[in-house]
Structure 1
Amino acid sequence: MALTVILEFLGGAEFLFGHVKHHTVSIEKGENKLNISQLLMWIKENLLQERLELFMQGCTVRPGILVLVNDVDWSLLGELTYEIEENDRITFISTLHGG
């Protein structure tokens, strides 16, 4: 069973994903629900084009990347354990800027 998810990479994060800000993806999830931890691994394997260390640290996003689910801070939703629903919009905003 596939789940449609809208992914947004903003604030410079889009440069790690082929300079594309918006992706609508269909992810096979099997019988179980898909959580953000699993989504991050899918993003790493299927969308990330360069510099993993600028997007992820261990099994989560690196400090300095804000994560929103339908415009709500993921920390209010359980972060990595949030179970993604059909057509959720998950936004990753980099707050890291050189200077």
Structure 2
Amino acid sequence: MASQVLSDSLVAGNNTSDLISITVEFTGGLELLFSNERTHNVSLPAQLHNGIRPNITYLLQYLIDNVMKDQRRELFVLEGNVRPGILVLINDADWELEGEEKYELQQGDNIVFVSTLHGG
């Protein structure tokens, strides 16, 4: 399994204590949108410029801007949210149990995006 370590350019300074590391996984064909890599290790700022923690909404935009190589963004995000038919798991729990896009990311989180729609 390949992994890619990224850091956010919005982080003030180079202090690694200002970062949180999370693992993001793509399955069910979504990995095709992300350089055919299922697993990405991502470093994000522990706090954003407004003092709040990054959430799933922030992660989605970060993934589109920094990780996604495929131009077909509408296959992953539609109207600023995860496209219908994509299951999101936060630490093996359905994201609906965790607050969906408002969930604040924590050090060591594992976020999985699973496409449940397949062609036939």
Q: TM-score, normalised by structure 2?
A: 0.79
Percent identity between the two aligned chains: 45
Matched residues, number: 99
Q: 1:45 aligns with which of 40, 65, 87?
A: 65
Structure 2, unaligned runs of 5 or more: 1-17
Structure 1, unaligned runs of 5 or more: none
Q: TM-score, normalised by structure 1?
A: 0.95
Structure with bigger RCO (C-alpha 8 Å, 6+ apart): 1
Q: Is the 8 A contact 2:89 2:95 kept in 1?
A: yes
Structure 1 runs of 4+ with >2 Å offset: 28-32
Secondary structure of the residue aligned to 1:32 is: coil
**Aligned-pair Cα RMSD in Å:** 1.0
Secondary structure of the residue aligned to 2:96 is: helix
Q: Which residue does the alignment assign to 1:89?
A: 110
Q: 2:31 aligns with which of 14, 19, 26?
A: 14
Q: Distance in 2 between matches of 1:71 and 1:97?
A: 22
Q: Which residue does the alignment assign to 1:2?
A: 19
- Offset, 1:29: 4.0
Q: Which residue does the alignment assign to 1:57?
A: 78
